[in-house]
Chain A
Amino acid sequence: EPEVTQTPSHQVTQMGQEVILRCVPISNHLYFYWYRQILGQKVEFLVSFYNNEISEKSEIFDDQFSVERPDGSNFTLKIRSTKLEDSAMYFCASRPGDRSDEQYFGPGTRLTVT
């Protein structure tokens, strides 16, 4: 069964460093998302992406964040200058298309900022 994959599974970085989290959505899915979950808290929406552009973003998704679909399969989240409070599990998700609401999540990348 096709699934969303994410790499790396765990990333440790120093405050102020740039990180890129990678996702490969399910092929033929058209809508892509990033969510995050700070330890012990609920999942929060960051950004949605469709047709090579951001369709919606939350207040969390400030200028430090960017997303890109560099080729036909990868979908990346970049954090330019990480802060301690960026430590969280980051989930990528994808959705097939307009007739389907289900979002399928990847296994997540645990980001630890020291």
Chain B
Amino acid sequence: AQKITQTQPGMFVQEKEAVTLDCTYDTSDPSYGLFWYKQPSSGEMIFLIYQGSYDQQNATEGRYSLNFQKARKSANLVISASQLGDSAMYFCAMREGRVTDKLIFGTGTRLQVFP
């Protein structure tokens, strides 16, 4: 089974609108961390936001927020007020357990913001 599932290969959103990128995860370990990274066409991986499994509140970083639903094992990224510069690939990733700190990535969602 996939540890991280991103079911949306591509998403479109109009500038200034909000968009939600889906991510579900699979783990039986109670301690884990969830990450979102942005990869523009230039190729670098930009850290956006992090949510720990024990965090009581949803993480927020500027226009990015993480809609963490533990029972559903989902960690959706919400981008508010989309900008043209948000067009990129977005990857969800998980660190599973405390013994390991490797990140397991999903297949990504390509977001395109149009004017």
A105 lies within 8 A of B107 (CB): no
Q: Which residues of A contact B104 (CB under 8 A)?
A: 45
Chain B residues near A48: list those with CB within 8 A. 101-102
**Which of B35, B43, B52, B95 interacts with A107 by CB under 8 Å?**
B43
A89 at the interface (CB under 8 A from B): yes
Is B102 touching A102 in the complex (CB atoms < 8 A)? no
Whole-angstrom CA separation of A106 from B108 in the bound complex: 18
Q: How large is the interface on A (under 10, 10 to 19, 20 to 34, 35 or more residues)?
A: 20 to 34
Partner of B101, one of A101, A104, A106: A101
Least Cβ–Cβ distance between A87 and chain B, in angstroms: 14
Report the bound CA distance from A103 to B44 in whole Å: 13
**In the complex, A89→B40 CA distance in Å?**
14
B25 at the interface (CB under 8 A from A): no
Contact A102 B47 (CB under 8 A): yes
Contact A31 B47 (CB under 8 A): no
Q: Which residues of chain B come closer than 8 Å to A41, judged between CB atoms?
A: 107
Contact of B91 among A33, A42, A102 (CB under 8 A): A42
Residue of chain A at shortest CB distance from B37: A105
Tell me whether A56 and B44 are in contact in the complex, defined as CB-CB below 8 angstroms, given that A42-B107, A42-B108, A102-B35 are known contacts.
no
Give residues 14-31 of A contacting B (CB, 8 Å).
31
Q: Which residues of A contact B103 (CB under 8 A)?
A: 33, 35, 43, 45, 103
Most buried by A among B95, B101, B107: B101
Q: Provide a sorted-by-A list of 7 A–B residue pairs whose CB atoms are within 8 angstroms.
A: A33-B102, A48-B101, A56-B100, A101-B95, A102-B50, A105-B47, A110-B43
Which residues of A are in contact with B by a Cβ distance under 8 Å? 31, 33, 35, 41-45, 48, 55-56, 58, 89, 91, 93, 95, 101-108, 110
Q: A56-B100, A105-B37 are in contact. List 9 more A-B contacts (CB 8 A).
A: A43-B93, A45-B103, A95-B101, A101-B52, A103-B101, A105-B44, A107-B42, A108-B43, A108-B44
